[in-house]
Structure 1
Amino acid sequence: MAWRGWVHRGWGCGQAWAPPVGSRGCEELPAVLSPPRLLGRRFNFFIQQKCGFRKAPRKVEPRRSDTGTSGEAYKRSALIPPVEETVFYPSPYPIRTLVKPLFFTVGFTGCAFGSAAIWQYESLKSRVQSYFDGIKADWLDSIRPQKEGDFRKEINKWWNNLSDGQRTVTGIIAANVFVFCLWRVPSLQRTMVRYFTSNPASKVLCSPMLLSTFSHFSLFHMAANMYVLWSFSSSIVNILGQEQFMAVYLSAGVISTFVSYVCKVATGRYGPSLGASGAIMTVLAAVCTKIPDGRLAIIFLPMFTFTAGNALKAIIAMDTAGMILGWKFFDHAAHLGGALFGIWYITYGHELIWKNREPLVKIWHEMRTNGPKKGGGSK
């Protein structure tokens, strides 16, 4: 009995340790084995083989986004979809979760600017061709009978009266409206939360960094963002051009989301984020940096005006305070990341990235001019 008790205390067949199903318990050992033969160094090994002692695996409890103070704040916010039924699994090594988003951010940004450079090359070629086609079309219109009250003609007239910037952001606004309508479909709620909200604790990390930029759950949130984008569209396209603006806008959405990931992992405040605010902050910061003396006004208070430089300083100060103090109504880290990226790109990025696109354009030009080389034997 004393030996049995010693085995029980020494090996702890309690709650922390569990023998496998079908094996003999610790209480059955004395009936099978004689105590004198178990003394010595072989005792530990024999007990482990006979009883099969091994530590019971610790169950990893899934972490719900609506638990705690952070979840309640997201649940109360009308800008965030209800995610109380969504289960997130934070990684036991949070820093590792940032590796894939980092590579995705760098790779996507490079592809965006490379595609924009090729797009600009193709646009220049098409403009030359469209110039001669336009002369021919004007001559045909002069001899063709005109139709009054044609709906298509009115649409073309409205479209032609828009500025280049407004025509550029029209597609972005249409994409945001389409995604907003998808949020209203009940059967798509889980898919929308999975792919159109960004959260470093989610199983899907990379694609939501881009898709969440076009995602809005609240009508007011979408309307406010699209109004700001429409207001600054003409200025930013005049500064950067259509192709470069699209590269900056898409890259800004991914970069601002990555900054949000870093902040959430560092503070442990996991939660879903969505909206185009990070990319729009890049547009606003770029315009305010390029034209700091421009006059701005608030939509509901047009009588109060202020300079663009002062507005940018106030926005950065507010988002910095919100990120440090943990305000949860907005994703202040994404706002701050987008604003800093806009300032950096206007100050340094344009010279470092866009003005060094010539080697890529030359390669593309040679491919378009010479075409793929046909294989053949060596001379």
Structure 2
Amino acid sequence: MGRITDTVKFLLILNVLFFIGTQFTGGVAERLFALYYFENPSFQYWQPFTSMFMHANFFHILFNMYALWAFGSPLELRWGQKKFLFFYFSAGLGSALVYTLVNYYQVHSVMDALLAGGWSEGEVMSYLSGGNGGSQAVLDTVSMDQINAMFNTYNGVALGASGAVYGVLVAFGLMFPTVELMLMFLPVPIKAKYFIPGIILLDLIFGITGAQTGIAHFAHIGGAIFGFLMAWYWRKNSFDNHRWN
């Protein structure tokens, strides 16, 4: 975790430029480039890619870019520029895919319950668009918390490089498992092979229980899954850098 490599530097600059640009566009950039649920009318096909360069606030981009520098540069030195860039964007797109699939399940499980409870498809779509929906009698079978969660998932956005960064974290843990990491919130060093699975497990717990809202935990999990599969396959098959550079 020393010098910054060229591709990581390029990604850092691109993320910072996007972040600065969004400060002058109001909500326009978010509506265009953040990732909407794919059945929402605001969804655009480029959003799974562009959402990787969008960040909610200064600390969001700070932590993501720090992790990209600290864990991405050693991987780029080991793999080379093209291979690392392919890995980074594949993990980010894989993150968006898993996040979208989980959202689809969450939205449609509640939607099916509403339809079974007497709402029409038109009433469901009216509610998702900000209307009143159907009869309140449906609350006998579907809780208001579930209905609100469906609404928030359908209309919410995901943004940030976290999914791609989680792929980088997992790959770092596979490539350099015994490297000791010094963390601000822990007074003692901890090896990568313990720390990285630990934070992924926390994301899984928070994602399943909903205990920590406002964070796309399953996007993190998706990036970690795709990152693990790629890094494990490359390590197993010993892909050399000359195949990419």
If the length of structure 1 is used for normalisation, what is the TM-score? Answer: 0.47
**What is the CA-CA distance between 1:243 and the residue it aligns to?**
1.0
Matched with 1:318 is: 202
Matched with 2:128 is: none
Runs of 4+ in 1 over 3 A off after TM superposition: 349-355
Question: Does residue 195 of the first structure (1) align with residue 32 of the second (2)?
Answer: yes
2:36 is paired with a residue of what secondary structure? coil
Distance change (3 Å), C-alpha of 1:181 and 1:343? same
Distance change (3 Å), C-alpha of 1:248 and 1:183? same
Report sequence identity in percent. 28
Distance change (3 Å), C-alpha of 1:341 and 1:180? same
Distance change (3 Å), C-alpha of 1:346 and 1:172? same
Matched with 2:223 is: 338
- Work out whether residues 89 and 164 of structure 2, in 8 Å CA contact, stay in contact via their aligned partners in 1: yes
- Work out whether residues 295 and 307 of structure 1, in 8 Å CA contact, stay in contact via their aligned partners in 2: yes
Equivalences for residues 207-286 of structure 1 within 5 A? 207-268=46-107, 269=150, 270=153, 271-286=156-171
Give the unaligned 5+ runs of structure 2. 108-149
Distance change (3 Å), C-alpha of 1:179 and 1:217? same
Q: Which has the higher contact order (CA 8 A, sep 6+)?
A: 2
Equivalences for residues 1-379 of structure 1 within 5 A? 163=3, 165-186=4-25, 189-190=27-28, 192-200=29-37, 201-203=39-41, 204-268=43-107, 269=150, 270=153, 271-298=156-183, 300-301=184-185, 303-326=187-210, 327-349=212-234
Distance change (3 Å), C-alpha of 1:235 and 1:347? same
Q: Give the Cα separation in 1 of the matches to 2:204 and 2:103.
A: 14
Residue type at the aligned position of 1:202: N
RMSD: 2.4
Cα shift readout 1:85-134 (whole Å, capped 9, x = no counterpart): xxxxxxxxxxxxxxxxxxxxxxxxxxxxxxxxxxxxxxxxxxxxxxxxxx
Aligned residues: 194
Distance change (3 Å), C-alpha of 1:258 and 1:353? farther
**What is the CA-CA distance between 1:176 and the residue it aligns to?**
0.9
Higher-Rg member (1/2): 1
**What is the CA-CA distance between 1:252 and the residue it aligns to?**
1.2
Residue type at the aligned position of 1:223: L
Q: Give the Cα separation in 2 of the matches to 1:216 and 1:167.
A: 22
Give the unaligned 5+ runs of structure 1. 1-161, 362-379
Residue type at the aligned position of 2:229: W
If the length of structure 2 is used for normalisation, what is the TM-score? Answer: 0.72
